[in-house]
Amino acid sequence: MDKVIGKIKNYVFHNEENSYSIARLITLDDQLVTIVGYFPKISEDVIYEFMGTWVKHQTYGEQLKVESFKKTEKQSANGLISYLSSSFFTGIGPKTAEKMVETFGLDVIQKVQDNPAILKEIGLKKIRIVKFHQQLIENQTNEHILVRLYSYNLSGRLAMKLLNKYQSLTIDKLEENPYRLIDDIDGIGFIKADEIAHKLGIEAHDIRRIKAAILYALEHIAYQNGDLYLTLEQLTKETIGVLQTDIDLDEGIKTLLEENRIIIEENRYYLTMSYFTETKLAEKITKLNDKSEFNVDLNYVKTLIDRIEMTKDIDYTDIQKEAISTALTHKLSIITGGPGTGKTTIIDGLLEVYKIYNKLNFDHPDIYEKIACLAPTGRAAKRMSELLHVKTSTIHRHLGYNYDGMFSYDESHLLPQDLIIVDESSMIDIFLASRLFEAIKDQAQIIIVGDVDQLPSVGPGQVLSDLIESNQIKVVKLDQIHRQAKDSHIISLASSVNHQNLSYDDLQSGNDVYLYHADQQKIQNTIINQVQGALDKGYSMIDDIQILVPMYKGELGIDRFNQILQDKFNVHKTKSITFKDKTYYEGDKVIQLVNDPKRFIMNGDIGIIKSIEVNSDNEKFLVVTFDDNEVLYERADLDELNLAYAISIHKSQGSEYKIVMIPMVRNYIHMLKKELIYTAITRAKQYLILLGDMKLLIYAANHLSNKRQTTLALRLNSDTQVEEIDKDNISPYDFM
């Protein structure tokens, strides 16, 4: 590891929230060097030793990427005087600081720490002595804590996260149970926590280690697969895999049960949160589905459907009429079907019938106190609004999701709406579904719309599938493709994939589908040529064209495609900002990776970098436009962004694009499943371009994703009652 010793000359940049810093350092031999990394603002008059790695920045030249630092013993009298009279200490001026050093010597700091009363010798009043001693301890404590954290091989960034989280208790918390970091600190998993634990002397058979591994398997490994529980055999296998040694888990499981952190039901092992979320959701759905006090005049509904056909000059099919009447005559219903089956037409029709039946005025400003049209993502909600010409919202926003992760609407503060329509419901995981349903009043009517054959949610659960499978909720399945969609080769190809009857005869270009057979080595150039061709015809790289890729890493992964497409098609390269291994330019297409309700942006929102600016402190920041929302990103926020010329198929759910391009290569073979490819194909609105080995399309169509391990359908068929649990505050590691 490289090392430089010297004093901070000035800070070029410092982020107060995460302490990412860029500073200029004067070395002991009067050289000026740049250091970058995660470290707090430290005195500019004290000599420090910085350890790290020299890196070459394309704009700013050589820099030391700091991994750790410590104060050296090589302090001068002048340096000490400057430090003691700096902004770190209030009420101590240069003359007082000079008097301290003259009276007590170069080890004045240690002497004052040991006995602050000695400062009376130089005339300091008690109140100033107490304040100075307190600030001295705080500054010294933080530096000692960071040095200790660096000894556990934590990066500067993670070390600052721990310090900001636990402050003066950091080392105590760490030594008490390093496995707590798995839950408390983003970026720390079991391996890193286990490494720290080993350095602290925690043995392989320590009960804290075993419990942490069990919880890690149940949360991270199970959730990664979308499962809510593991069997004992699965839990044992996964936990032993985490521990990397064959250890008896009985004591760990028994302790976790006693602490109410896991629940066992038959041979199903759940995290407590997962169990109660699912059981409470089942209970609420059963209550909402109660038909005893719900009476709607079916004949009048049918009359209104006929009237709307005449006024709108539309001919509903029998199944569409059934869907509208079923939805309006049941407390809770589901409408499911693929592209071209008329889901949007049905929603539009049932809204019209509901309006007339209930004598509502859709132009009245209070109408949305009666009706809510919701979708899981911003893009899905926007698309719903464009198609139906009504006000829509994301589920998070409608529930009042705020910056601290809480919801304004819950079981104690119910939503006012009488009718709630939820579109793209296949994307909703068990936790969001629970949040939504618990906030719906018992008298409300709920219509769930979605394509059950698409990918299930990114998060755990398969809510739409389970609701249908339970046979407790009225379901209308749309399987008839309508006239205007029958000529679409996109829809027929999607249908063939979905029904697993894709043949080599289907692998031909059609009126809106283009298949390009290309070697794996030529895929990148083929995609570039196709994008260029679309741009030449007037299509927009930002608004119209989307490349969908199953995986992130590798030469044919999302990250690499984004680099290539950015380099080729973004001509605005005069202003840039680099963060980690990515460089962003004005005009780049970007995607938000996490929910940020404080700034009204959600995971999956796609925008464009409008400008790259420099503030008064000479710090660069981005301005990104998301539809009609402009959001400022400082350097510390760039973890939340990624380039979006190519995105994952999961991230594309709920969206449509005029042109969709999908590379098909053997690198992806372990990802190629029917649900994934079906979802990707159905994102295309005008043209679908498939490139690569077309035989992989048939392979994907014939390989199903593993069924997720959930019990929502089972619970909807039982009378299980559950006790209350504080879902806002419970965490699997709260008891550690």
Q: Residues annotated in the binding site for ATP, as ranges? A: 340-344
Which tokens sit at 86? 């700096």
Taking CA atoms, 335 is separated from 55, 197, 252, 332, 482, in Å, by 56, 51, 45, 10, 16
User: Quick one: tokens of 592?
Assistant: 């938000």
Three-state secondary structure of 667-732: HHCCCCCHHHHHHHHCCEEEEEEEEECCHHHHHHHCCCCCCCCCCHHHHHCCCCCCCCCCCCCCCC
**What is the chain's length?**
736
Query: Three-state SS for 607?
Result: strand
Phi/psi of residue 646, nearest 5 degrees: -120, 135
Determine the angle formed by the axes of helices 343-357 and 378-388, rounding to 10 degrees: 70
Sign of the Cα torsion 688, 692, 697, 698 reads positive
CB 75 within 8 A of CB 61: no
Alpha carbons 34 and 26: distance in angstroms, whole number: 9
Tokens representing 164?
């900001």
Whole-angstrom distance, CA of residue 416 vs CA of residue 432: 19
Q: Token pair 């521990």 is at which residue?
A: 243
Enumerate residues 6+ apart whose C-beta is below 8 A from 706. 225
Map 26-50 to HEC letters.
EECCCCEEEEEEECCCCCCCCCEEE
> Cα–Cα distance between 457 and 653 in angstroms, integer?
9
| CB neighbours of residue 233 within 10 Å | 9
Annotated binding site: 340-344
User: Positive or negative CA dihedral for 366, 371, 375, 380?
Assistant: negative
Q: Are 643 and 582 in contact (CB under 8 A)?
A: yes
* Alpha carbon distance, N-terminus to C-terminus of the chain: 35
Strand order in the sheet with 419-422: 393-394, 371-375, 419-422, 445-450, 332-337, 474-478
Helix and strand numbers, DSSP H then E, in the chain: 28, 26
Q: Where are the beta strands (DSSP E) in 166-223?
A: none
Q: Report how far residue 256's alpha carbon sits from residue 211's, in angstroms, rounded to the nearest whole number.
A: 7
Task: Report residue 400: phi and psi, to 5°.
Answer: 75, 40
Kindly report the CA angle at 23 between 18 and 28, in degrees rounded to 5? 135
